[in-house]
Structure 1
């Protein structure tokens, strides 16, 4: 029945968790599935650990992030999506009553 969807998703989530625990490590140095060259490239390009194994934290370029076209596009898309969603939630009962001629009892049962 319809409950099987939840069992399938739960089973897939458990499988994902087992694979994650088995394959993902905290640092590139702990990952056995990558080559030495790839490990060094990751560590040096991301400012990970230097040769003396002291952490080196890179500063976050907040101005560049907040003014990037990709961030601004996501911001506009999210605002438009929210506007549409909330407009639908607010105006749909009025539309159903005035245009579709639902009575408020029917509309109330649909929304509850």
Structure 2
């Protein structure tokens, strides 16, 4: 009996520009949000702490860096990790927006 031949696989790489990569990521986010919305409407559950998004605050805050990460660590020290990560998504967004606007206000005073 003749020995079996292995199948060979050829991998082709295609260069991707930063703009193309960003567009792919943005499309992936749009697709994921659309799928989440379909799932929510199918299940009749439209709250912001259900199913796939129950760890939304935890995930989002794990992606922070720089000044924003410093701000978040300070907040966690103030209220505790469990309380910080258990806050509703809308609360986190309001806090981050308020902090960002305050930061912009401080910067504008420095530049003038």
Superposed pair shares fold, TM > 0.5: no
User: Which structure would you say has the larger Rg?
Assistant: 1
TM-score between both structures, scaled by the size of structure 2:
0.25
Higher normalized contact order (CA 8 Å, seq sep 6+, divided by chain length) = 2
TM-score between both structures, scaled by the size of structure 1:
0.25
